[in-house]
C-alpha cells in the first residue's frame, strides 16, 4: 500500500496549527502558533482577537508545515480540518482555508471533531495502541470519560455536569490572583504546597458515578478564601493550589480507574490540555501501575491543541472512506459522537 | 423582589420556577460573582423549560443552545473583550428570536442588552453563612 499523507489544520481556540502526518502515526511536521501571550494580557481567550490572529497566521503556518515535512501540496492526499467544537469565528478560519485548499488542489476534505483529535494524539507516540481502550479527555472546554470502541467511535461514560476541568483551574487561578492560563500556573504553585493541607470535595454527582462536578470544587475553594479573608488569616497559596489540584486529580483518577475495573479495560489513555498537568499524570501513572493497567499519555506538546492529532484522526476517517463536501461548516457546539 | 436561598437546591428550585413561567423572546441577565450559583440557577431554569439535556458551562464557546418547551440560549460573555465581538456570534438572532436567552456577565455587553431584559442579581452575604444567597429579580 502506498503512503497516505494528510495535511491537518486546527484553529478552534487560541492556537493556529498545521501538520503533515503520514499513514496516521508518523508526524512529518507539527507547527503551532500560539496566542497565549496575547490573551494573557486579557485574562483569557478573546474571541475577536482569536479569529483575527488565526487569519493572519494560517497561511504561514501551513507553508511552514509543508516545508518542515519536506513536501508540497501535491504530496498531500487529503486535507483534514477541525470543524467543531470551539469558537465559531476561530473555527471558520480553518474550515474556510481547508475548503479553499481542497477545492483549488482538488483533494478530498475531511472534517474532524476536535475531541476525536485529542484522543487520536495518543496514537502518534504509541504505535501499538489500538481500540478498544478507556480514555479521559480533559481540557479547557471539555471533560469526558469515554470508551474508544473503534477509530472515531466513542461511548460517553461520564462528563462534567458544569465547568470543564480546565475551566476550574482557570477560575481558581483567577481567584487566587495567579492569572491565565490557570492550569500551568496552579501546577507550578502546587509543587511547593501540601496536597493534604485542605480537604476540598471530590466533585461527585449523586446517582451518576462517572460524572464530574467541578463547579462544586471551585465553590469550596472560593468559600475557603472568603472565610480566610473574614478571619483576616493569610492564605497559603501553594497549599491551596496543591489541595485543589489534589481534589480534581482524585476525582479524575478514581473514575477512570473505576471504569477500567468495571469494564475490564487494561488500557487507559488521557488527552487534552489538562492532561499535561504533571500531578495528574503522575497520579494516573501510579494508580494504573497498582491496578495493572497500561497508561498512555501524549507528550505535553501533543496534549495542547495541535494539528498533528487532527491529521491522525483525519487519516482514520480517510481510510474509512469519509469525505466532506465544500458545504462543510463550523459547528461551535458539536457534541462528541455527533457528525 | 427578593428571594433568599440557603442552598444550591433552593437556588435550583427558584430557577426552575422562573423557567416554567418564561415566555418566548425573554432575556434574563444573570449578574453575580464567580461561584454565586449562576450555573445552578440556569440548570434549574432549563429544567423549568422542560430541557432534559445536561446544561453545563458555556464559557468555552460563549453560547450554548438547548431544546425544550422553548429553545434556551445560554450565554457566558466573560471572554468578550468588546461588545462588537458579539456580532461575530450573531447575537441578534438569539436576543430577538423566539427562544429564551440567559446571559452571564451581562455588564460586559451592557450596550447590547435590550431595555426590556429582566435582571437577576445573585449575591452572597457571608454574615448569613457561606450558602446564603440573595437573589434580586
pTM: 0.87
Separation CA B16–CA A128 (nearest Å): 50
Are β-strands B27-31 and B100-104 bridged in parallel, bridged antiparallel, or unpaired?
Answer: parallel
Class of domain A131-298: alpha beta
- pLDDT tens-place string over residues A312-330: 999 999 999 999 999 999 9
Roughly how many angstroms between the first and final C-alpha of chain A, as a whole number? 29
Q: Where are the alpha helices (DSSP H) in chain B?
A: 8-21, 38-48, 85-89, 91-95
> Are A30 and A320 within 8 A, CB to CB?
no
Is the CA virtual torsion B130, B131, B134, B137 positive or negative?
A: positive
Bigger pLDDT: B9 or A336? B9
Instruction: Tell me the pLDDT band of B87, cut-offs 50, 70 and 90.
Output: confident
Are β-strands A109-113 and A78-84 bridged in parallel, bridged antiparallel, or unpaired?
Answer: parallel
Nearest Cα to Cα of residue A98 among A331, A330, A335: A330
Residues 8..47 of A with a Cβ closer than 8 Å to B: which? 13, 42, 44-47
User: A175 to chain B: which residues are within 8 Å by CB?
Assistant: 34-35
Furthest-apart CA atoms within chain B: distance in Å? 43
Whether the per-residue pLDDT at A311 is higher than 70: the answer is yes
Instruction: Tell me the pLDDT band of A48, cut-offs 50, 70 and 90.
Output: low
**Ramachandran category for residue A272: left, alpha or beta (phi over 0 → left; psi -120 to 50 → alpha):** left
Q: Which of A86, A161, A230 shows the shortest C-beta gap to B126?
A: A230
Q: Give pLDDT, residue A1.
A: 63
Compute the mean pLDDT over every residue in chain A, rounded to the nearest whole number: 93
Nearest Cα to Cα of residue A101 among A130, A122, A72, A70: A72
Q: Do A47 and B35 touch (CB under 8 A)?
A: no
Domain ranges of chain A: 5-120+303-319, 131-298
Residue B114 belongs to domain spanning: 2-136
Cβ of residue A227 closer than 8 Å to a chain B Cβ: yes
Whether the per-residue pLDDT at A37 is higher than 80: the answer is no
CATH of A5-120+303-319, one of 1.10.1740.10, 3.40.190.10, 3.40.80.10, 3.30.420.40: 3.30.420.40
**Class of residue A234 by CB neighbours under 10 A (exposed 0-12, middle 13-18, buried 19+):** exposed
Whether the per-residue pLDDT at B88 is higher than 90: the answer is no
Nearest-Cα residue of chain A relative to residue B131: A223
Separation CA A58–CA A46 (nearest Å): 18
Instruction: Tell me the pLDDT band of A278, cut-offs 50, 70 and 90.
Output: very high
Q: Which residues contact B128 (CB under 8 A, 6 or more apart)?
A: none
Q: Do A47 and B79 touch (CB under 8 A)?
A: yes
Whether the per-residue pLDDT at A74 is higher than 60: the answer is yes
Separation CA B31–CA B35 (nearest Å): 11
Q: For the complex shown, is ipTM > 0.85?
A: no
Whether the per-residue pLDDT at B9 is higher than 60: the answer is yes
Total domains in the fold of chain B: 1
Nearest Cα to Cα of residue A46 among B58, B94, B106, B83: B83
Q: Do B62 and A87 touch (CB under 8 A)?
A: yes
Amino acid at each position: 500500500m502506498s503512503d497516505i499523507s494528510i495535511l491537518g489544520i486546527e484553529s478552534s481556540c487560541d492556537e493556529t496549527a498545521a501538520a503533515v502526518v503520514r499513514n496516521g502515526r508518523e508526524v512529518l511536521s507539527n507547527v503551532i502558533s500560539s496566542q497565549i501571550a496575547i490573551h494573557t494580557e486579557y485574562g483569557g481567550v478573546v474571541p475577536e482577537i482569536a479569529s483575527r490572529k488565526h487569519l493572519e497566521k494560517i497561511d504561514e503556518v501551513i507553508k511552514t508545515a509543508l516545508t518542515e515535512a519536506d513536501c508540497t501540496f501535491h504530496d498531500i492526499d487529503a486535507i483534514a480540518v477541525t470543524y467543531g467544537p470551539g469558537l465559531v469565528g476561530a473555527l471558520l478560519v480553518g474550515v474556510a482555508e481547508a475548503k479553499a485548499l481542497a477545492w483549488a488542489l482538488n483533494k478530498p476534505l475531511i472534517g474532524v471533531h476536535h475531541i476525536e483529535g485529542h484522543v487520536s494524539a495518543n496514537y502518534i507516540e504509541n504505535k501499538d495502541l489500538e481500540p478498544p481502550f478507556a480514555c479521559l479527555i480533559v481540557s479547557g472546554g471539555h471533560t469526558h470519560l469515554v470508551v474508544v470502541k473503534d477509530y472515531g467511535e466513542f461511548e460517553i461514560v461520564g462528563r462534567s455536569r458544569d465547568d470543564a476541568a480546565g475551566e476550574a483551574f482557570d477560575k481558581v487561578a483567577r481567584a487566587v490572583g495567579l492569572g491565565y492560563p490557570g492550569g500551568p500556573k496552579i501546577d507550578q504553585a502546587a509543587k511547593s504546597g501540601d496536597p493534604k493541607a485542605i480537604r476540598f470535595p471530590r466533585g461527585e454527582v449523586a446517582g451518576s458515578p462517572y460524572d464530574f462536578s467541578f463547579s462544586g470544587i471551585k465553590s469550596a475553594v472560593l468559600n475557603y478564601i472568603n472565610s480566610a479573608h473574614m478571619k483576616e488569616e493569610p492564605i497559603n497559596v501553594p497549599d491551596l493550589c496543591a489541595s485543589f489540584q489534589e481534589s480534581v486529580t482524585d476525582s479524575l483518577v478514581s473514575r477512570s480507574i473505576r471504569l477500567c475495573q468495571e469494564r475490564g479495560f487494561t488500557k487507559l489513555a488521557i488527552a487534552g490540555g489538562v492532561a499535561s498537568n504533571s500531578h495528574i499524570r503522575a497520579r494516573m501513572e501510579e494508580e494504573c501501575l497498582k491496578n495493572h493497567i497500561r497508561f498512555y499519555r501524549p507528550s505535553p506538546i501533543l496534549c495542547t491543541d495541535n494539528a498533528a492529532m487532527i491529521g491522525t484522526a483525519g487519516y482514520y476517517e480517510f481510510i474509512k472512506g469519509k469525505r466532506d463536501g465544500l458545504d462543510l461548516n463550523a459547528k461551535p457546539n458539536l457534541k462528541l459522537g455527533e457528525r | 423582589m427578593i428571594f433568599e436561598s440557603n442552598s444550591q437546591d433552593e437556588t435550583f428550585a427558584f430557577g426552575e420556577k422562573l423557567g416554567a413561567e418564561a415566555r418566548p423572546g425573554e432575556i434574563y441577565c444573570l449578574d453575580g460573582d464567580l461561584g454565586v450559583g449562576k450555573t445552578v440557577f440556569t440548570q434549574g431554569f432549563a429544567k423549568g423549560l422542560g430541557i432534559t439535556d445536561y446544561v453545563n458551562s458555556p464559557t468555552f464557546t460563549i453560547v450554548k443552545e438547548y431544546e425544550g418547551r422553548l429553545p434556551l440560549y445560554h450565554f457566558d460573555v466573560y471572554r468578550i473583550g468588546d461588545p462588537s465581538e458579539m456580532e461575530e456570534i450573531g447575537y441578534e438572532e438569539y436576543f430577538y428570536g423566539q427562544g429564551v436567552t440567559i446571559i452571564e456577565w451581562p455588564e460586559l455587553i451592557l450596550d447590547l442588552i435590550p431595555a426590556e431584559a429582566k435582571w437577576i442579581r445573585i449575591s452572597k452575604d457571608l454574615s448569613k453563612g457561606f450558602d446564603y444567597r440573595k437573589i434580586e429579580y
